[in-house]
Amino acid sequence: MIPRSKVIFPMKKQSARRPLVVITGAASGIGLATVQKFLQEGHRVAAIDRSEAGLRRLKRSALGGRARIYVCDLNQIAALTPLAQRIVKELGPPRVLVNNAGVWFYEPIEECTDEHWQISLNVNLVAAAALARGFVPAMKKVQGAAIVNVSSRNALSSSPKASSYDAAKAGLLGLTRTLAVELGGHGIRCNAVCPGVIDTPANRNEMNDPSFVRNYLGLIPLNRFGRAEDIANAIFFLASDQAAFITGQAIVADGGQMSGQNYAKIFEKTQWVPASSRRERV
């Protein structure tokens, strides 16, 4: 159970009828952009993150004063369903649950310890199920309820040295489909967003590496990295009534990287074609 001293309560009475959105990993990056998007659209937000300092910065932002903040480490699975039940008791049933928080360990398989595997599975996958378990009974009473899971492009196209992350995010897509089928009869939709490389604080080292930027942009048809706001907009769409007939799906937001490669762009040759595509006339 999260100590009450870790929760901040300022909330205007007139906002009580606004739809409630619960967002994990809310203190930075995609989570923070998603909080801001829903607040801009007039929703109430319960923001969950392990960083108390980050959540307090959110509270001091222009719109953040309207959010409720909850400090919680999603690796502590036993605390999550009780936390969900407590949020329902304090704020009412949420219309939207956004499972955004994630963690990754960049290491070869022989160096990925049991502890790292457990943390990765807990934060990226099991926490989403535990929070759904806590919130779904109340969400069944809310018209237009939706769950949006933030998976990863890596769930569909893997990278070396990312075994625990890729496996957990792939599992999250499986959970997304199962919840869509299981909860559809109750009017609850469940979808996922699969971001590619996004320019967030978690990727700051890569964004500051000119060699990485130059080479990786060659893989992205739109010729730019994603912004946190790009993913927040996709999340908002999937949670909205505009996506009322969409469930069990995963939207890939990667600037076109998975669609295919522009070899001329990658190799900086305007007329280059793979040798395997050349055919000699006979």
Q: What percent of the chain has pLDDT over 70?
A: 89
* 272 in a structural domain: no
* 275 in a structural domain: no
Q: Which domain holds residue 114?
A: 4-202+224-261
Contact 227, 186 (CB under 8 A): no
pLDDT tens-digit series, residues 86-132: 999 999 999 999 999 999 999 999 999 999 999 999 999 999 999 99
Nearest to 186 by CA among 238, 240, 148, 136: 136
147 beta partners: 97, 190
- In CATH, what number is assigned to the domain containing residue 33? 3.40.50.720
* 139 in a structural domain: yes
Question: In which band, very low, low, confident or very high, does the pLDDT at 274 lie, cut at 50, 70 and 90?
Answer: low
Q: What percent of the chain has pLDDT over 90?
A: 80
- How far apart are alpha carbons 277 and 266 in whole angstroms? 17
230: Cβ–Cβ under 8 A, 6 or more apart, which residues?
A: 198, 253
Give how far Cα 200 sits from Cα of 57, 73, 107, 208, 229, Å.
Answer: 16, 20, 21, 11, 10
- How far apart are alpha carbons 188 and 137 in whole angstroms? 11
Question: In which band, very low, low, confident or very high, does the pLDDT at 261 lie, cut at 50, 70 and 90?
Answer: confident
| Known catalytic residue at 165 | yes
122: Cβ–Cβ under 8 A, 6 or more apart, which residues?
A: 74, 75, 77
* 52 in a structural domain: yes
Question: In which band, very low, low, confident or very high, does the pLDDT at 11 lie, cut at 50, 70 and 90?
Answer: very low
Q: Active site residue: 70, 106, 165, 263, which one? A: 165
* 68 in a structural domain: yes
* 24 in a structural domain: yes
- How far apart are alpha carbons 125 and 174 in whole angstroms? 10
* 268 in a structural domain: no
Contact 198, 226 (CB under 8 A): yes
The number of folded domains in the chain is: 1
* 216 in a structural domain: no
pLDDT tens-digit series, residues 156-167: 999 899 999 999
